[in-house]
Chain A
Amino acid sequence: MAWQFPLLSLLIWLPIVGAVCVLLTGSDKHAGTARGIAILVAIANLLLCIPLYLGFDVTSYAMQFQEEHLWIRAYQTHYALGVDGISVLMVILTNFTGLLVVLASSQTIKLRVAQYMAAFLTMQGMIVGVFCAMDAVLFYVFWEGMLIPMYLSIGMWGSANRSYASIKFFLFTFFGSILMLIALLYLYNQTGTFRIQEYYGLPLSLHVQKYLFFAFLLAFAVKVPMWPLHTWLPDAHTEAPAGGSVILAALMLKLGVYGFLRFSMPITPLACMRLADFMIGMSLIAIVYVGLIAIVQKDMKKLIAYSSVAHMGFSTLGCFMVYDIIRRMGSFQDAYMSLEGAVIQMIAHAFGSGAMFLGIGLMADRLANHSRLIKSYGGVAHSMPVFAAFFMLFALSNVGLPGTAGFVGEFMVIMSAFQTHFWVATMAALTLVLGASYTLWMYKRVFLGPVTNAAVATFKDINVIERINYILLAAGVFFVGLYPLPIINVLRVTIGHLLLQSIPTGLAMNVPMGWAA
């Protein structure tokens, strides 16, 4: 292979090297320098996404921007990178979010700034690594590696109950990943390689596939998180600093769905098909049951955390409906929308919930006791009108209003759900009311009405940096909501290829169309 510019490597390692540089500034005496370097690195990384997007060939399903170097000869492990339509979007999203977090944190974090920035830059690089890795060991290294800075950020900069939350977070995610490691080792034994793409289409028996499926499921379901493995998330969110919450919501949760798309569906297609109804059930529980729980939350961050679980339910629903849709409709064409919806929902949720976590963070910062309880606020719109307007926009995206990002994924998934079964669609559509209830009720209690807490009256409206942050996010929300076609163009071919790999041969043909007579 001719030498080509190692763009993906640069995207991964630039923030990590940047993190080391930031660390070198040392104590808080040079906090300004640390912030400056971190912001520069984040901007540079986002700029690197421009050639990535422009150079990406949307007409090919092949992995692009490939890099490959032998890593450990004995185990045939490679440092192999590459992106397809799904991961290229995720990489861009990661770097976009990374910049937001660094910008936001430069305003709020006053203690151990260099360390904080370093942790987040490292996390950013590692997450990009997860999305780019084509080698199972490399994937696993990044997958686990990113837990460390996250664990540290919760443990160091978190609030009161941080040690419980950080340990819970670590154990949950780590426990799941161990099983994934075993599954990967099993696949290595079968094939003699760690190249993920070699695992696709392996003639594994249903029995084996089921074991593999559950091993992967545990790892990914914890990350998504799916019910009933979701309880670490509200704790982690509440205790994490605002930046940590944003990374958690906007990026880490997406890794779970990404895992389903990268591993579960193409490697264990038979098991996926057999267990699709189970997965649909779990997703619906996430949407309805967790939606109900979100309504009664008293802590804003917990509320948004539960809402995240409900929203990610749409992504998992979108992934696992494809089998039923093909069976009932008799063609691949109809399954596209389901998967497109799942991926777009991931992106949309990153904007909406990320923005809301930032907002909660900056409100809590303005309050002396950093309370996140809804009842500590009320009438914030009086003192922070610009912020209230922005927050309304993101709340509406969370509600799934047409024209905002949140609508696109939900719409596509509900449309597809109707093709699996009327009642699946009805259950999923309940989110129209549930989502509006928890989001707007919270908005009402926090932003509207008379000012009840005297401290709220003295809040200063958002400053220039915070405004830039919100303008970026608002642009994202409107872009995805009003013109999702460019995103879909990037996805289309990849999703088609993924469907071909994930559908057990013969499914489309030997299924009668009896249901929709």
Chain B
Amino acid sequence: MDQPLILLATIIMLLPLLGAITAGLFGHRIGRNATHCITVSLVAMAFVLSMYLVKVMLLDAHPAIEGTLYTWATAGSVQFDVALLLDRLSTVMLFVVLFISLAVHIYTIGYMADDPGYQRFFSYVSLFTFAMLVLVLANNFLLLFFGWEGVGLVSYLLIGFWFNKESANQGSLKAFLVNRVGDIGFLLAIAAVLMFFGTLNYHAVFTQVPQVVSRSLALFPNYDVPVIALICFLLFIGAMGKSAQVPLHVWLPESMEGPTPISALIHAATMVTAGIYMVARMSPLFEYAPAVLSMILVIGGTTAFFLGLVALVQFDIKRVIAYSTISQLGYMAVALGASAYDAAIFHLMTHAFFKALLFLSAGSVIIAMHHEQDMRKMGGLAVHLPVTYLTFVIGGLALSAIPPFSGFFSKDAIIDAVHLSTLPGAHYAYYCVLFGAFITPLYTFRALFLTFHTRSRVEAKLRGHIHESPWVILIPLVALAIPSVFMGQMLIGPMLFAQPSLLGDSVFVLPEHNVLAQMARSYVGASKMALDAGMHLTFWFAMAGIVMAWMFIAAHPQWTEVLKRRFHWVYALLVRKFGFDDFNHTVFVKGTVELGDVCYEVSDVKLIDGVCVNGSGQAIGWLARTVRYVQTGYLYHYALSMVIGVLVFLLWFIWG
């Protein structure tokens, strides 16, 4: 670890861990104020230090560097290192994670002020930050998996933070298990990489791709699959779990049982985008697996459109945003499938800011409403919560891709990119994301109107008590609102169309897949793009969404009822969330328990123990009882048996 930059990255990574340990072990001794002072200042310190890395890596274009902290294990010729990679992609992620984490840390001071688990919460959030930094800084698959599972664990702990609530415990368990299903894929992918590349180091793996690209593996006799495709397929299963792609998205809505700050940090801005980050990081592999890219296009498109629809019928304000997160993750996946990795990371960044903003604004509303989350019991809150309202509007406009807000640039780039992609499935994905552009503002502004406009439906006992949140909550909102407005405009050029782009050689695209290069030819600059938005279909789709939301929610709420009755089967389908939960519950949860019961009751208890074990015990007992009858004690019985015995031997001797 001779390079000072790696040392700096290590320090940045360990600062939140230090905070987590302090808050976790000594939180009760040092008290609430000391706890939040320590954790917040440590994360702030990490953030400030990361700014220096941003300068060096992104502005001064320092080449990527690696450094080993220690050797974790060895096995034969393989060596597993705990080692970091600092390049453009990891620096970008570092910045995003620490920015949002800092905002959330500060916000938490206000949001969790009355909670008895205050110190525990800070400990978890700092621990999460550490794990996320490990994930983005790793230079090998093993450390990536460490971070990957680490964020999964903290997510589990935080969803179940209020462990007195049955729904929270249910949601956390579900989140962990569904993620683990994805992790099976991820772990097998790692095993495949190890087998065929002999190393887990990214760089060493990527440079060997040309040698491995022609190899295949027999999954069944006479059925070979290309190794790279298999690895990418398995990796994407992992990404589907973490980044909530259909059908492994089922855990994310229920993760909303956790406190709102972590919904913003973990379940919107950072952890759920880990899958997207991972695929972008592995782009040198995915580029050689066009079949898997097609699969990503189809799954991403499906997620983007159909899960967006579900958000239309939700009444819990956090669940609306949760489904919107799933849908936006679908957009990012589509970008990955179209080989527009830069665009995926771009949307990941803008989304991180405006979605965290939306969640934290929603949290501000929830605090004001004394933990009421049902939008049917809100309405007309704009006058009471002016700052929150403003930030929610900014977040909503950014999410709806209205120019010049940041979401416009990133989402538009994705829609254009997938339009240019020639892979099978790209057409389907294109229509999905295109119509998604109409659905997104529809559910966003439905939530906005239901919450802030319309006639107040607030319960009488709460009416007089609604007031704007304290400054510790508002400052993070403002801090997130600013990038949500300007970031897209500032970064679209450098991220997507500059040569080299902001991510530079951190991602790899084959020339024949390079849709962004095609788009670059017609790129005219960010402000022109915003001004020309009216020439594009997507803009009018978005506007139509907002107008529809206004008409159906604010202007003529009775129309909604008509629509509901007219299309009641669609409505039922959406309310049931396409039946994923019912299916999983019936088939997987109950099925597993039934199977376990059968294995236990029938096979273990009856067959092995009942028949074999106790049976042989009884058989010996029976044998002993039977043999006992021979021992009569009469001399003539013994004499008779002796004579018979001698006779039998004699006959055997004669004939044998």
Contacts and interface: CB of A to CB of B under 8 A. Distances in A.
Given A419-B195, A429-B184, A433-B177, A444 B169 contact: yes
A352 to B, nearest CB: 15
Contacts of A333: 76-78
B366 interface: no
A5 interface: no
B613 A168 contact: yes
A152 interface: no
Interface stretch (B67-75, B97-105, B518-526, B579-587): B67-75
B219 interface: yes
A80 interface: no
Q: Select the residue from A381, A426, A433, A488 with max chain B CB neighbours within 10 A.
A: A433
A337 B78 contact: yes
B163 A381 contact: yes
B191 A418 contact: yes
A515 B196 CA distance: 12
A293 B153 contact: no
A355 B240 CA distance: 34
B217 A516 contact: yes
Given A231-B608, A295-B593, A432-B187, A440 B176 contact: yes
Interface string B137-175: 000001001100110010010001001101001000100
A430 B613 CA distance: 29
Looking at chain B, what size class is its interface with the partner chain? 35 or more
Contacts of A450: 164, 166
Given A449-B164, A450-B164, A484-B73, A402 B180 contact: no
B183 interface: yes
B186 to A, nearest CB: 9
Contact of A436 (B176, B599, B600, B609): B176
Nearest to B157: A392
Contacts of B195: 329, 415, 418-419, 516
Given A293-B596, A425-B191, A433 B184 contact: yes
A432 B190 CA distance: 14
A228 B217 CA distance: 33
A426 B230 CA distance: 13
Contacts of B183: 432
B72 A484 contact: yes
Given A231-B613, A449-B166, A296 B187 contact: no
B73 A335 contact: no
Contacts of B149: 401-403
Contacts of B599: 289, 292-293
B215 interface: yes
Contacts of B517: none
Nearest to B227: A516
A412 to B, nearest CB: 6
B74 A231 contact: no
Contacts, number: 141
Interface in B184-219: 184, 187-188, 190-192, 194-196, 215-219
A441 interface: yes
Interface string A173-191: 0000000000000000000
Given A485-B73, A517-B215, A296 B192 contact: no
Contacts of B163: 381, 447-449
Contact of B169 (A335, A436, A449): A449
Given A432-B180, A515-B218, A492 B74 contact: yes
A231 B592 contact: no
Majority secondary structure, B binding face: helix
Interface residues of A, number: 61
B604 interface: yes
Contacts of A417: 191
A296 B594 CA distance: 8
A332 interface: yes
Contacts of B156: 440
Interface in A472-488: 482-485, 488
B149 to A, nearest CB: 5
A231 B597 contact: no
A488 to B, nearest CB: 5
A482 B77 CA distance: 20
Contact of B184 (A228, A297, A415, A426): A426
A449 B169 CA distance: 7
A336 B75 CA distance: 6
A143 B656 CA distance: 46
Nearest to B24: A389
B415 to A, nearest CB: 36
B347 to A, nearest CB: 29
11 contacts: A293-B600, A296-B597, A340-B73, A415-B194, A423-B219, A429-B184, A444-B169, A448-B163, A449-B163, A449-B169, A485-B73
- Per CB-CB distance, the 8 closest pairs between chain A and chain B, nearest first, are A418-B191, A337-B75, A333-B76, A336-B76, A296-B596, A292-B596, A448-B163, A402-B146
